[in-house]
Amino acid sequence: MLKKIFLIIISLNLLSHCEYKPVYSNQNNVDYKIIITSSNGDKFINNLVAENLKKNSKDQSNEIIDVSFDTEYTKNVLAKNSIGTITDYQSNVIATFVLKKGENIERFVVNEKFNFQKMTDKYEERNYERTIKKNIATSISQKLILKLAYMK
């Protein structure tokens, strides 16, 4: 019993002295204005990424970051069954960003992949693929915002 109490006290003491910070803690403290200069590639993904960036942009900020990006969406066949019918796909998005802050120019590439099975209903498959694109665009946006938070 004494050992358990001693271990609890020591573990609480150690935990209270840790400097734990969430990874995305700097994301909300950033004060910059994002200006999208150009975007090429898949229009649906580009619009979602641009919308997410505008949500995180502060219009009253003096710090301006120019962003131009290019997205490439591909849907590849991942697997076929013994008959030769497609069973699995892989969605792949490669987003290349050029970030300009003052005189600093930085290039940033994000590659996102997602595997999914073919559905019997084509309408459901198109809707599911659209949902996948939305999730990938959100993930790309979050990675870019995190990169901007640590950009000097």
C-alpha–C-alpha distance, residues 48 and 133, integer Å: 9
pLDDT at 139 over 90: yes
Q: What share of the chain is helix, strand, coil (3-state, %, to 5)?
A: 40, 35, 25
C-alpha–C-alpha distance, residues 150 and 152, integer Å: 6
Query: What pLDDT was estimated at residue 11?
Result: 78
Task: Domain ranges for the chain, please list them.
Answer: 23-149
C-alpha–C-alpha distance, residues 117 and 76, integer Å: 12
**Mean pLDDT over all residues of the chain?**
86
- What pTM did the predictor assign? 0.77
> Cα Rg for the chain, rounded, in angstroms?
22
- Of residues 102 and 19, the one with the higher pLDDT is 102
How confident is residue 104, by pLDDT bands cut at 50, 70 and 90? confident
Query: What pLDDT was estimated at residue 128?
Result: 93
Query: What pLDDT was estimated at residue 26?
Result: 54
126-136 burial: b if 16+ Cβ within 10 Å, else e: eeebeebbeeb
pLDDT at 133 over 90: yes
Query: What pLDDT was estimated at residue 10?
Result: 79
**Domain at 23-149, CATH from 3.30.160.150, 3.40.50.620, 3.40.50.720, 3.90.79.10:** 3.30.160.150
DSSP state of 84: S
Query: Quick check: 42 and 74 in contact, CB under 8 A?
Result: no
Strands in 64-80's sheet, in edge-to-edge order, are 33-41, 64-80, 86-101, 104-117
How confident is residue 32, by pLDDT bands cut at 50, 70 and 90? confident
